[in-house]
A and B are shown apart, each in its own frame.
Chain A
Amino acid sequence: MNCLTKTLAALFPAIALLPLSGCASRLDYTLNPPVSNDWVTVTVKLPQETEALPLDVLYRSETCRKEVYDNTSESHMATVRGVNPQLVSLSQTDSSGYREAKIALNGGGKCGWKLSGIRLGIQLSKTSALANGKNIISTSYVFDFDDEGYRNAFGYGNPKNVVGNLRFETDFFPLIQSHRDGEMVITLFGGDIRDEKWKRYYRVSSISKIVIEPSIHMSKVVRVVPPNSLPGDLIATYPDGSTGILPYIYPDYEKLLSMK
């Protein structure tokens, strides 16, 4: 008996370490872009009281595949391309107010990582007076470099196909949305993204430069309040004081544009 206890005690560290080693071999997530590479440069210029989040950059690999649970065989038989999400910081602001990041199309490394998607999130900065006491939700520009990209994450609907470089001067308005439990959410509103016209989700090709220089109309705030009792309507109050019932859950962007 004593002997058994000792054996178990001796084995215990080994048993304890088992889960750390894992069963599947770990993927090699390091990027090592080749020197002669194609790059895409993302340049951002934002006004005061707003900030850009670090870029979400997603690489995928054909060689380093990820095992996924197969519902039918109830095993990890099926594989999909491995994913390697990265956060890339934008450079410090230069003299003319621009920040930028260079992203390699070919991530290299042992796995041969290929750029699949880039997302830039912009939002009101936490220190801005408007955002005080509210939950900040970022607004996205999403660029897919293959047919998968950020389709299942940041993208909404189907992306717009574009060839060549892109430049954006989107008009944004601070949107303060109250929820029925009193929570307030603040976001930058640039139109109903379900609408082809205002969608900021692209499937890009032959691209080397993305410039994002939006005009953010900080003083033109639109507020949306829910009904006090159900059933009722969502009501928007526009910067000029006029109000309107929302057809869906978004204010009238064209109306806002007429007030900028």
Chain B
Amino acid sequence: MEIVGDNTCVTSVVPKSKTVLCRGKPRKYWMELQFVDENNVPVSGLNVSLEYHPLATAAEVAASKRFGKDGYDPTPPPNPPVGVTDSQGLVRFDNLYWIGVNVKADGQQLADEMEQRPLGVRRNPNSQPESKNRSRPATRDLTWQSDVQKKADAAGQRHHYVTIGQLCDRLPVIDNWKENEPPRFHFPSGDVMKGTPIAREGLDQRHVIEVCPFRAWSLVLHDTKDYSLANGYNLGVMADMAYAKGGDTVIKQFFFEQCLDLSRTPEYIDFPSFSQALVVDVPFSQRYTAAEFLDSAGKSGGDNDRPLLDSTQLFYIENAEQVVVSWRGTQELPDWLTDASFSPQPCPAELAKAGRIHGGFLDAYHLAKRRFDAQFSAIRASLAKDGKKKLFICGHSLGGALGLTYAAEMKAIEPILYTYGMPRTFTADAVGRLYQVTHYRHVNDSDTITSVPFDANLDNWLYGKFGPLGATLGFFWALTTELPAQMGGLYIGEHYWHHGKPVVFFRTTQTGSFEECRVMMNPNTCRRLKYSQQYKVKLFLVPSMAETESEEAKEAQEAFISEFPMADIQKIFPRNTNPAFDHASNPARHSMVKEYLPFLNNQLLEIADPERKLGRKTYRADFRQQMDTFGDSSPPEELKRNRMFLALQDMVGNSLIITRKYPGGENALIRFKSVAEEEVELSN
């Protein structure tokens, strides 16, 4: 461009305008845009358009109007033609004016393509939407750089990290999206499609545009009959979440906000436990579409029923592959009273064709079923639809008993049930008819609740002893007066049995003994004294892993069986009841948040991150050392048992093989270990 005439200007008292002529064409600029996903894989065949920024803002135009006659026209030149990205994800624009542009892409095409791209492992903390919650503001880290960004910087290219909402030229169709506003994370500016701005200083350069895939988080839950630690951990977090006092608000925040926010993995904080969910990314269309908390308090009964004041709570969630129903345990006083009404009732036919069920649990179950008939019917319809969704059920304490009852009703579709510290629920005859339910029953050492009701026909016994009141007072009597001791040999009639395969958190001790003699060297004055040795260790025992059918675990399993015959295992872990513990029954072992969850968290962390130093590993090493050093003075049976326990503990890692093979599973574990911390395993 050439300027004709004198373009200098001298300020005078009476300024006059001066006309300068331009001849020839202005210089043109180029720009290259490369579209990639978080794994630096190009996005090809994408229709990309540029929009020039207006030449001035409305305020500037108004200001100029005040001085000049007509102001000036801020309309930019016509936009350059649309480009299409090549196999490198690259599109080049030439002949651009020296004006800033907004980069936009075909919204539907972009959304469809980015749904299929997996996320990179590391999450960008700076992509999180503005927090609505003032007490938890968004946390950003401006020094954070993605792998794509490091590469672009090294090549001297400009880098932009964007979500699809920052590129879309129109709102794509989102299946089943019922909100007025589009999803906040992917569409940070709502339904205004502004595009990604590039200032004119960015012309004559290549820009790498890293697009966050259009994905959502989904809990890692495996449809397997074998024990899965991923299931054990995630369903444990769900069982704990059923206790949330905020109910609906907490559940919805987790599944509809955190699970759609890809700047970090979802977490559930229930002090002192900080549970980082183990999640994989799935296409946005497979996200959670239902998350409902149901509380029967405040709901009256059926049509001609009187309002009841006690309550049962549960929540359910649903996405493309899973339906999770989580039952709350004992929360309010009336709930506890249901534990006291021991009387076993004949099983309704839909649960089991024979046997009996704990009367209090049945009442609590029926309460929920009756009040939420519409929701339960919807869950059934949804599970029947295309048969792709797996039903997972979980619960802690009474919630476990309700979960098992629900699983009994749904047994035809073979649900997967994980319970934590559940009491006995059904009698032997009924338990035998629930074989279709894959059930892993977590028992935290000597948790009292897992040993009530006792596995004898306690009801009859109490009735015989105390008359009609016996059954009512039974539970409290039992706890305070240690009934089981009095009941030796009373195993008659229908017994309460535990269902499912146990997963036992066993606080193991080693017994030592020494001889004490009153007169030195005189064996007649000696006696043997027993004591518990210094190091105790809590072990994660999954006896069923000795009988797993998975190919990968076969070798470890065969080695285990050759050392510890099945008969020995079954002796220590008898079917349908708890093993004998080294510690006395203790209600403090029952806490989900202080006992079960931290232990699951630490076990998962240990396997996900084998390099990490953990207190629990040190304790175990000490215990092994103690066994080697003082083994001679321990009872041989106990020594053998403890060796078996340690071998079982070493096998727990195999329960994550399925997770590592699952699409995105390895990344899920990497993300988990980058945010999780070792927690205190023993609350007191």
Contact = CB atoms under 8 A, between A and B. Distances in A.
A230 B389 CA distance: 11
Interface string B340-376: 1000000000000000000000000000000101100
Contacts of B307: 85-87
A96 interface: no
Contact of B331 (A15, A69, A151, A154): A69
A244 interface: no
A68 B245 contact: yes
A56 B270 CA distance: 33
A153 B388 contact: no
A23 B577 CA distance: 33
B245 A151 contact: no
Interface in B217-261: 240, 243, 245, 247-249
A157 B333 contact: no
Interface stretch (A37-45, A179-187, A209-217): A179-187
B10 to A, nearest CB: 65
Contacts of B333: 22-24, 67, 76
B25 interface: no
A259 B592 CA distance: 53
B381 interface: yes
A131 interface: no
B378 interface: yes
A166 interface: no
A22 B330 CA distance: 17
Contacts of B180: 196
A224 B374 contact: no
B405 interface: no
Given A69-B332, A72-B270, A249-B382, A16 B469 contact: yes
Contacts of A106: none
A232 B387 CA distance: 6
B371 A80 contact: no
A180 to B, nearest CB: 5
Contacts of B332: 66-69, 76
A230 to B, nearest CB: 3
A157 B178 contact: yes
A58 interface: yes
A173 interface: no
Contacts, number: 137
Contacts of A138: 303, 374
A137 B374 contact: yes
A15 B386 CA distance: 57
B387 A231 contact: yes
A218 interface: no
A252 interface: no
B479 interface: no
B380 interface: yes
B593 interface: yes
B562 interface: no
A234 B330 contact: no
A58 B298 contact: yes
A152 B375 CA distance: 12
Contacts of A157: 178
A56 B592 contact: no
Listed from nearest, the 5 A-B pairs whose CB atoms lie closest are A230-B387, A231-B387, A226-B384, A152-B295, A69-B331
Given A85-B299, A85-B307, A152-B247, 4 more contacts: A24-B333, A53-B303, A86-B300, A231-B388
Interface of A: 15-16, 19, 22-24, 53-54, 56, 58, 66-72, 74, 76, 78, 80, 83, 85-87, 116-117, 135, 137-140, 150-154, 156-157, 177, 179-181, 185, 187, 194-196, 224, 226-227, 230-234, 246, 248-249
16 contacts: A58-B298, A71-B240, A137-B373, A150-B298, A152-B247, A152-B293, A152-B294, A153-B299, A177-B381, A180-B384, A187-B374, A187-B377, A194-B290, A196-B178, A196-B180, A226-B385
